[in-house]
Amino acid sequence: MKKRMIGLTMAVMVAVSALAGCKASGTDDADKARQETGVGKAEEDSEKESAPCIVSVDDAMVIGALDGEGTEVVPALDADRKMYGGFVAGACIEYEIPDGVDGTYDVYVNMARPSALWGNTPFVVTVNGENRQVQPIDMTTTFDAAGEDGLTPGVFLVARKLHVKTGDKLALTVSGGMLSFSIPYVGDVMLYEEGSEVAQGFGDAASVVKEDGTADDSDPLSGKTILWMGSSVTFGMMSNGYSMADYIAENHAGNKSIKYAISGTTLVNDAMKGDSYVERLENDVWEGYDDEIDLVIIQLSTNDASNGKPLGTLSESTDRADFDVTTITGAEEYLISYAKERWGCDVVFYTGSYYEAPAYAEMVEGIKKVCDKWDAGLVNLWDNQEMTGIYGTDEYKEYMPMDGIHPNKDGYCKWWGPEFEKYLNEYLAGATK
């Protein structure tokens, strides 16, 4: 399919008049709101027929959810900007697909810049309660412009190759974890022709996301697609959403890192939350990635240690039905088994670097045994003597200024990243297997 550059501002302005059969709000106020929430500069070569179908938030149904206190919270409308905010996990905006629409589209949503971000996967997208899809979103939270506030508009992809027709209910439901505390405001949904090149990002910084298809045969990490499953450390909570996953992708030609990371989540299943690594690896990873994934990397979560999750014991079985996923060891075995079967690829766990945490130290000893059993890789930063040697020094504080768990960007780029590179290069080349 021919891909075309879409200038989002022009696209939003002409969508109602240029796209036959797709209805959007026709009021002057609604048209003005659409223009205000559109992003990106109009490109001279934009084509009118490539404008999106705008599914207006004006007609959407807003569904509340219970917060941590058991009180129902319903997202609030910012009437001036035609956007909803004040979400909690499980809250939802349900859009109705307008008349004359029947086809396969890439789905984008207008969002405002959040003041903080806790993960890469803020929304679960469904059509009529089915066709569930979760897409990682690369969203910066830095306020660069003077006087810029949390309502700077932006456009981001939330679902790919999704088939919808007139009358369908397309729902955006907020994911769990700590993420829901700072979900951005959400406005119109835009349906673009499948495969269209759409500028993503906030304001004039929006740009088309290009995938580098080149590969260097001498580099084991080049050209690889890596699925990362984790929580705040995998996300890069203290470095504006940048982690070693991004470092690897930036420094190896054609490398693609797909981050399914939500802060505050655990390896083990928790009946009260429903956002464990086990549940997300099974349910959230888009089927369209299945043929691409070369390696799965899973974080040994510090959240399990801090929340007192039971360690469990190593099973003598290799049958997933025998693993107790309410324990750390059982969840680890389940994750490795599931990933190997679904994607037919290698699996690597990684630990955090050393900090004072006896419960996490026990988890590190446990994952060594699990990886030995399953012939899985382990990036063991915890026992890395060179890294541990700077613990408590000024150099350490430069990389880990907050809590001993979450590096800043320098920590990922200069400290953790090179260790991941070294190990993964050797692992993929077969030297450490």
Band of residue 144 on the pLDDT scale cut at 50, 70, 90 = low
Tell me, what's the pLDDT at 14?
A: 33
Band of residue 240 on the pLDDT scale cut at 50, 70, 90 = confident
**Token digits of residue 97:** 């697909």
Tell me, what's the pLDDT at 206?
A: 87
The DSSP string of 105-150 is EEEEEEEEPPS---BS--EEEEETTEEEEB----------STT--T
* In contact, 210 and 254? CB cutoff 8 Å: no
Percent of the chain with pLDDT over 90: 70
Tell me, what's the pLDDT at 140?
A: 74
Look up the pTM and report it: 0.88
Closest CA to 267 of 282, 277, 256: 277
Give the residue carrying structure tokens 């003041």.
Answer: 115
Instruction: Read off the pLDDT of each residue in 226-232 and give the average, rounded to a whole number.
Output: 97
Distance, in Å, from the CA atom of 387 to the CA atom of 381, rounded to the nearest integer, reads 7
Closest CA to 173 of 115, 132, 223, 214: 132
CATH number, domain 225-428: 3.40.50.1110
Checking if the pLDDT of 232 tops 90, the result is: yes
Checking if the pLDDT of 187 tops 50, the result is: yes
Instruction: Read off the pLDDT of each residue in 281-289 and give the average, rounded to a whole number.
Output: 97
Distance, in Å, from the CA atom of 287 to the CA atom of 346, rounded to the nearest integer, reads 18
Band of residue 287 on the pLDDT scale cut at 50, 70, 90 = very high
- Which range (170-179, 195-204, 223-232, 407-416) has the least confidence? 170-179
**Helix, strand or coil, per DSSP, at residue 184:** coil
DSSP 8-class letter at 395: H
Tell me, what's the pLDDT at 147?
A: 52
Same-fold call for 5-208 versus 225-428: no
Band of residue 89 on the pLDDT scale cut at 50, 70, 90 = confident
Tell me, what's the pLDDT at 126?
A: 98
Residues 6+ apart with CB under 8 A from 13: 34, 35, 38
Tell me, what's the pLDDT at 84?
A: 93
3-state helix/strand/coil string of 196-220:
CEEEEEEHHHCEECCCCCCCCCCCC
Cβ neighbour number for residue 425 with a 10 Å cutoff = 15
Checking if the pLDDT of 30 tops 80, the result is: no
Distance, in Å, from the CA atom of 189 to the CA atom of 172, rounded to the nearest integer, reads 10
Alpha helices in 264-357 (DSSP H): 277-283, 302-306, 328-343
> What radius of gyration, in Å, describes the C-alpha atoms of the chain?
22
Band of residue 44 on the pLDDT scale cut at 50, 70, 90 = very low
Q: Please give the single-letter amino acid code of residue 41.
A: K
More confident call, 81 vs 335: 335
Distance of CA 395 to the CA centre of its chain: 30
Whole-angstrom CA distances from 417 to 15, 147, 236, 353, 413 are 43, 34, 12, 12, 5
Tell me, what's the pLDDT at 148?
A: 54
Instruction: Read off the pLDDT of each residue in 43-72 and give the average, rounded to a whole number.
Output: 79
Give the residue carrying structure tokens 């505390």.
Answer: 181
Tell me, what's the pLDDT at 386?
A: 95
**Token digits of residue 140:** 């910066």
Checking if the pLDDT of 32 tops 90, the result is: no
Q: Residue 421: which region, alpha, beta or left (left: phi > 0; alpha: psi -120 to 50)? A: alpha
* In contact, 325 and 331? CB cutoff 8 Å: yes
- Which range (25-29, 93-97, 135-139, 172-176) has the least confidence? 25-29
Tell me, what's the pLDDT at 153?
A: 82
110 backbone dihedrals φ, ψ, rounded to 5°: -75, 125
Fold observed for domain 5-208: Jelly Rolls (2.60.120)
Instruction: Read off the pLDDT of each residue in 120-147 and give the average, rounded to a whole number.
Output: 83
The C-alpha angle with vertex 252 and arms to 251 and 255, in degrees rounded to 5, equals 120
Q: Which pLDDT tens digit goes with each residue over 361-397?
A: 999 999 999 999 999 999 999 999 999 999 999 999 9
Instruction: Read off the pLDDT of each residue in 35-63 and give the average, rounded to a whole number.
Output: 66
Distance, in Å, from the CA atom of 14 to the CA atom of 34, rounded to the nearest integer, reads 10
Cβ neighbour number for residue 104 with a 10 Å cutoff = 13
Q: Please give the single-letter amino acid code of residue 211.
A: E
What average pLDDT is seen over the chain? 86
More confident call, 55 vs 271: 55
Tell me, what's the pLDDT at 141?
A: 66
368: enclosing H helix or E strand:
helix 358-374
Q: Residue 262: which region, alpha, beta or left (left: phi > 0; alpha: psi -120 to 50)? A: beta
Give the residue carrying structure tokens 């993503």.
Answer: 200
Q: Report the relative pairing of strands 61-63 and 225-230 from DSSP bridges.
A: unpaired
281 backbone dihedrals φ, ψ, rounded to 5°: -65, -35
Tell me, what's the pLDDT at 150?
A: 63
Band of residue 36 on the pLDDT scale cut at 50, 70, 90 = very low
Domain ranges of the chain: 5-208, 225-428
* In contact, 379 and 348? CB cutoff 8 Å: yes
* In contact, 28 and 39? CB cutoff 8 Å: no
Q: Report the relative pairing of strands 377-379 and 346-350 from DSSP bridges.
A: parallel
Checking if the pLDDT of 257 tops 70, the result is: yes
Total residues found in the chain within this entry: 433
Checking if the pLDDT of 223 tops 90, the result is: yes
Instruction: Read off the pLDDT of each residue in 140-148 and give the average, rounded to a whole number.
Output: 56
- Which range (47-56, 87-96, 304-313, 326-335) has the least confidence? 47-56
Instruction: Read off the pLDDT of each residue in 119-143 and give the average, rounded to a whole number.
Output: 89
Query: Residue 202 pairs with which residues in a beta bridge?
Result: 154
Checking if the pLDDT of 24 tops 50, the result is: no
Distance, in Å, from the CA atom of 304 to the CA atom of 360, rounded to the nearest integer, reads 8
Sign for the CA dihedral angle at 8, 10, 16, 19 comes to negative
